[in-house]
């Protein structure tokens, strides 16, 4: 370059290059260039034969990219310079016209917006695949009782289907978040030039339509500095990964000897190098551990953008690796979870035995007293003392005698024993969103409708 009297230092080159990771933007960069050239010709900024020559060269480069024969040079700093260099090699001096009325600043922002739009779509598909697996498992285990927990202490019994559906609703919100990411990335930066606009009569609205954008960025300064759509992707990814991490964490607990609620299929587990009896739920553990990595990518980009003066600064090159790793990691986790959840086997006996712990009906007994006019707070105290009594005597609640009940409250009669029978404490949770079978069935249908998943 004429402006410089020294070659770039080798360490600077290594620090400065982005081609090692932004090469995956090549298909977007080529599509952008094709439509940009088309627009330049439509606006009489270049001649028709120049457009044809540029398009033929871009076609040639696209073929080389696809076939993996693109000849890289040591001097290629990023995907944009590499493609422009190669177009010029193939087309001759007319290649120099490719960069008319644009800058790498609006170009890279546009490539990245197109990339985010596509990844938002593929991430939504991966979310729906996992949601489908969860809904199918919920259907298979519709009336399997299990203990519901708070503080990881048995709290109240629920159906396994109800518990699994909780994750389906998280995924429905994740899907919505990624759809909003797609919308945030649908505003076209191209045409902003370096930062101030360009000295040509370009047609950005036409370009937006040709490249599949919904609108044109209204401020050239904002257009080249905006990376909100990347932050949006990373924020949605961090939240989704956090959901997956909770599911992974539960699968790890459930597959322990102590819980014995579930067993992961062999395809999703590994053995120990020393203890032959072991089968470890590694997939669930790894998914559990990925969440902070994704949250880290979000925090890192916030750090890059924080206090960054307008407009383009080379700092912005740091957006890509965070985005790429987040998208790759999240989609891999979603795919793995769909496979692992789809092949998980649950142990009905263990789940049912744990759910049959009568102390889980303590709230239901308190509610029985409430129906008889006792205030809830007072009922809470009475049942607490019954639990204490049962624990002291080593009895189940249903083994307490009528005299022992009467010693705690005159309102505790034979109906006390009915409350503890069978599934009464599950089936009495008839409030909307509750665990009674009819409500869970209703919820499953709603989840299917919201997620657009057929049975
Ligand atoms: N490789 C750069 C990036 O990823 C492309 C934009 C470079 N623009 C510039 N003015 N140096 O951000």
Which residues participate in catalysis according to the annotation? 151, 272
**Which atom of ligand 1 sits closest to the CA of residue 316?**
12
Q: Buried b vs exposed e over 114-131: b needs ≥16 C-beta within 10 Å?
A: bbbbbbbeebbebbbbbb
Between the CA of 16 and the centroid of ligand 1 the distance, in Å, is 9
Mean pLDDT in residue range 297-320: 98
**Which atom of ligand 1 sits closest to the CA of residue 77?**
1
pLDDT in tens, 331-345: 999 999 999 999 999
Confidence of residue 440 (pLDDT cuts 50, 70, 90): very high
Mean pLDDT in residue range 222-244: 98
Q: Rg of the Cα trace of the chain? A: 31
The CATH topology of domain 105-197+216-353 is Fumarase C; Chain A, domain 2 (1.20.200)
The structure tokens listed for 234 are: 């990373």
Q: Which of 23, 105, 227 to mutate to test the pocket of ligand 1 (most atoms within 8 A of CB)?
A: 105
Between the CA of 81 and the centroid of ligand 1 the distance, in Å, is 10
Confidence of residue 361 (pLDDT cuts 50, 70, 90): confident
Instruction: Report whether 119 contacts 328 (CB < 8 A).
Output: no
Bridge partners, residue 157, by sequence: 147
What is residue 454's predicted lDDT score, i.e. its pLDDT? 82
**Which atom of ligand 1 sits closest to the CA of residue 194?**
10
Q: Which residues line ligand 1 (CB under 6 A)?
A: 18, 22, 78, 104-105, 108, 312, 316-317
The CA distance from 97 to 356, in Å, is: 76
DSSP 8-state symbol, 434: S
Claim: this prediction has a pTM higher than 0.85: yes
Mean pLDDT computed over every residue of the chain:
95
Closest residue by Cα to residue 388 from 370, 403, 400, 406: 400
**What length does the chain have?**
455
For residues 427 and 287, the model is more confident at 287
The CA distance from 93 to 126, in Å, is: 45
**Angle at the Cα of 191 from the Cα atoms of 76 and 66, rounded to 5 degrees:** 40
Only one residue has tokens 């949601």, namely 131
Domain borders along the chain are 19-100, 105-197+216-353, 357-451
Between the CA of 241 and the centroid of ligand 1 the distance, in Å, is 30
The CA distance from 61 to 17, in Å, is: 20
pLDDT in tens, 159-215: 999 999 999 999 999 999 999 999 999 999 999 999 999 999 999 999 999 999 999
The CATH topology of domain 19-100 is Fumarase C; Chain B, domain 1 (1.10.275)
Bridge partners, residue 153, by sequence: 150
Between the CA of 312 and the centroid of ligand 1 the distance, in Å, is 8
The CA distance from 407 to 268, in Å, is: 54
pLDDT in tens, 109-156: 999 999 999 999 999 999 999 999 999 999 999 999 999 999 999 999
Q: Tell which CATH classification among 3.90.650.10, 1.10.1060.10, 1.10.40.30, 3.30.70.20 matches the domain 357-451.
A: 1.10.40.30
User: Per the omega criterion (within 30 degrees of 0), is the bond before 311 cis?
Assistant: yes
pLDDT in tens, 157-166: 999 999 999 9
Confidence of residue 324 (pLDDT cuts 50, 70, 90): very high
What is residue 1's predicted lDDT score, i.e. its pLDDT? 59
pLDDT in tens, 393-419: 999 999 999 999 999 999 988 888 988
pLDDT in tens, 39-90: 999 999 999 999 999 999 999 999 999 999 999 999 999 999 999 999 999 9
Residue-wise DSSP of 295-311? HHHHHHHHHHHTTPPSS
Burial of 327 (0-12, 13-18, 19+ CB in 10 A): buried
How far CA 369 is from CA of 326, 358, 361, 401, 423, in Å, comes to: 53, 17, 13, 17, 19
Closest residue by Cα to residue 379 from 392, 389, 394, 364: 364
pLDDT in tens, 254-305: 999 999 999 999 999 988 777 777 789 999 999 999 999 999 999 999 999 9
pLDDT over 70 at 389, yes or no: yes
């Amino acid at each position: 370059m004429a402006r410089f009297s020294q070659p770039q230092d080798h360490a600077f080159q290594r620090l400065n290059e982005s081609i090692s990771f932004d090469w995956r933007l090549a298909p977007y960069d080529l599509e952008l260039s094709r439509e940009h050239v088309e627009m330049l010709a439509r606006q009489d900024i270049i001649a028709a034969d120049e457009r044809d020559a540029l398009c033929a060269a871009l076609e040639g480069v696209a073929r080389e990219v696809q076939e993996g024969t693109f000849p890289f040079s040591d001097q290629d700093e990023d995907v944009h310079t590499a493609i422009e260099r190669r177009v010029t090699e193939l087309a001759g001096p007319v290649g120099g016209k490719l960069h008319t009325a644009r800058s790498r600043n609006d170009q890279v922002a546009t490539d990245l917006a197109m990339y985010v739009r596509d990844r938002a779509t593929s991430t939504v598909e991966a979310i729906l695949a996992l949601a489908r697996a969860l809904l199918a498992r919920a259907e298979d285990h519709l009336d399997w009782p299990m203990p519901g927990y708070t503080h990881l202490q048995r709290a109240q019994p629920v159906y396994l289907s109800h518990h699994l559906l909780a994750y389906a609703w998280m995924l429905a919100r994740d899907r919505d978040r990624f759809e909003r990411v797609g919308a945030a990335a649908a505003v076209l930066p191209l045409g902003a030039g370096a930062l101030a606009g360009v000295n040509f009569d370009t047609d950005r609205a036409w370009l937006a339509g040709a490249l599949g954008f919904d609108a044109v960025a209204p401020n050239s300064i904002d257009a080249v500095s905006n990376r909100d759509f990347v932050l949006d992707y990373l924020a949605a990814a961090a939240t989704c990964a956090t959901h997956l991490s909770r599911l992974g964490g539960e699968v790890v607990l459930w597959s322990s000897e102590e819980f014995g609620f579930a067993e992961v299929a062999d395809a999703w587990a590994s053995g120990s190098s020393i203890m032959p009896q072991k089968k470890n739920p590694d997939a669930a553990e790894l998914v559990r551990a990925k969440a902070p990595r994704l949250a880290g990518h979000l925090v890192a980009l916030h750090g890059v953008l924080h206090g960054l003066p307008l407009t383009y600064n080379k700092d912005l090159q740091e957006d890509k690796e965070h985005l790429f790793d987040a998208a790759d990691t999240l989609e891999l986790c979603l795919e793995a979870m769909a496979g692992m959840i789809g092949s998980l086997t649950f142990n009905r006996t263990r789940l049912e035995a744990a759910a049959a712990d009568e102390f889980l009906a303590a709230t239901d007994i308190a509610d029985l007293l409430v129906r008889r006019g006792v205030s809830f707070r007072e009922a809470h105290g009475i049942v607490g003392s019954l639990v204490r009594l049962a624990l002291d005597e080593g009895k189940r609640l249903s083994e307490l005698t009528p005299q022992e009940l009467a010693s705690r409250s005159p309102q505790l009669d034979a109906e006390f024993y009915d409350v503890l029978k069978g599934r009464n404490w599950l089936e009495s949770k008839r409030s909307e969103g509750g665990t009674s079978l009819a409500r869970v069935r209703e919820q499953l249908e709603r989840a299917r409708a919201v997620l657009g998943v057929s049975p």
